Chains A and B, each alone.
Chain A
């Protein structure tokens, strides 16, 4: 069952320097109980896409220009950004976890106050039940001695613990979809492993869907079932994790996989970097944004606009070149 379908989403920023097409025609979907990874480098629009689905873009300068976000059979973009419908969906049906656990928790409120805020808003619980539920949640996300720590303030927790609190808050109203935006970038690897495993288990337990937004290909390889690779505001490749990691087809995906060091690599392996710089999104040309850095480019790439996603094997790829023939 499809839970969320995003169709042709476009979010533009009108800046003093020109038009920035941060999200430019992005479509994706997520099924119930599925873990999906959205991968890309900074500035590729992966976070803006997620914020747009919840209409959390600061406007101006940001504007959702076009597209549909269909959730539970309703188009979320039909609702006003600050209306009651959107508010009940945010946190209630769709919850988000951000990268910086330090700044995403309010430092002046205790953990219980912050969780109870969510519970009373979305589930109309009374204080007694709220407290029980909050302790239960904190225990579930692995906070030792939750009963005592529930009245502590965010600064009394370590970075990893704060992120656990964030996860508890996100799960507090049994959301159908959890969006984790770079959830483990700010924490150490052993903590990252703990947190991701925790999220994986909770998602299975509650049959919640999970979108992991990250730049870390390893994280996606370990946890996600399907992935979307984004570059310069568009999805350039999508498919199941197995297919994409075994046989990447878009030049950017191929480049990404070749340029990161692997823990299990042969000695003296030379990395193959993606040459050049990530594109500047201001006033982009209509051609493929990866063109200047692409090692496989053909004449057609220069002449025609950015290709749409089309099926290649089991994947969807936005490229004119059959990379399989050109390289491997």
Chain B
């Protein structure tokens, strides 16, 4: 496993809920609870789950935008979970972030060119102004934008174009991994595929570029990812190759999630069986005991409320956290 780019071991991120002037801790939200996975060079790992499952927090912990409560994050062979701000700053540019909201993620007062050029300039990756200009222009071309538009400000671009600017900015410092946090869910259907294809092309172009692709849309995640991790209330419940996830989902939550996603094909839809879950995702403030999924699970038994299932390899790297699946 020497091509492992990122390894996350037992990552925990608990947010304290405080009250009063003295910020007394009254509770804890276990946003990410004992999550482990790895990302290989050139691979796309999908993180999928519903609201509050901790997928965004996981992504931000990896970038060390949060200081994890516990666990290890090993990036390019280096443990980064406890590095100081000064040291982490140099590593961050190797793993930038792409955001969901193409409106909020670009400074409205900066021109597109300066948005893309800022990290290059800041990290002194070019020698002079001319090189910078050229580098920005080539980044613009790479993401399918006309380099003549560098002087425009974000609000003069459409949503899809803004997302391209965000991607160009992420590529600016020659990253080895990009964390994409719902990069297309705010875009129009017809624009989404343009961005997905762009991301795929860039991965081919820069051999060895990895993505962590965070989204709630299972079809999109499955399409772009090599492996997919399904999260539920802060824990990974299933992690496997994307093909197996649809053909052979093992965790009851994954099965329900897959059945809930409609397929735009009438013939297929008519033959599909729907699993409708009971109730809703419980609040992360007071998650159920044992397996978080047990109150909604169709195959739960009394033990499920006691045992916290570990993520077990059931063969070929297919990992499931369920005591009913062996």
Contact = CB atoms under 8 A, between A and B. Distances in A.
A and B pair up: yes
Interface in B227-286: 242-243, 246, 256-269, 274, 276-277, 279-281
B136 interface: no
Interface residues of A, number: 48
Interface stretch (A48-56, A128-136, A270-278): A270-278
Interface residues of B, number: 46
Given A193-B274, A263-B246, A269-B223, A221 B263 contact: yes
Nearest to B200: A270
A32 interface: no
Interface string B21-32: 000000000000
The 5 closest A-B pairs by CB, nearest first: A218-B262, A261-B223, A217-B264, A193-B260, A259-B193
Contacts of A272: 193
Interface stretch (A1-9, A21-29, A86-94, A240-248): A240-248
Contacts of A121: none
Given A158-B280, A191-B280, A193-B260, A259 B189 contact: yes
B158 A262 contact: no
Interface string A227-269: 0000000000000011001100000000111011111110101
A189 interface: yes
A222 interface: yes
Interface of B: 50-51, 158, 160-161, 188-194, 196-197, 200, 216-220, 222-224, 242-243, 246, 256-269, 274, 276-277, 279-281
A273 B190 contact: yes
Contact of B264 (A158, A192, A242, A245): A245
Interface in A20-79: 41-42
A234 B188 CA distance: 18
A263 B263 contact: yes
10 contacts: A222-B262, A245-B265, A262-B223, A262-B263, A263-B218, A263-B222, A263-B258, A264-B246, A273-B194, A293-B190
A262 B267 CA distance: 13
A188 B232 CA distance: 12
A140 B312 CA distance: 40
A259 B263 contact: no
A41 B259 CA distance: 24
Given A219-B262, A246-B267, 20 more contacts: A42-B188, A158-B280, A189-B216, A189-B217, A190-B257, A193-B259, A193-B276, A194-B277, A197-B274, A218-B264, A221-B264, A259-B193, A261-B196, A261-B220, A261-B224, A262-B264, A272-B193, A273-B197, A277-B160, A278-B190
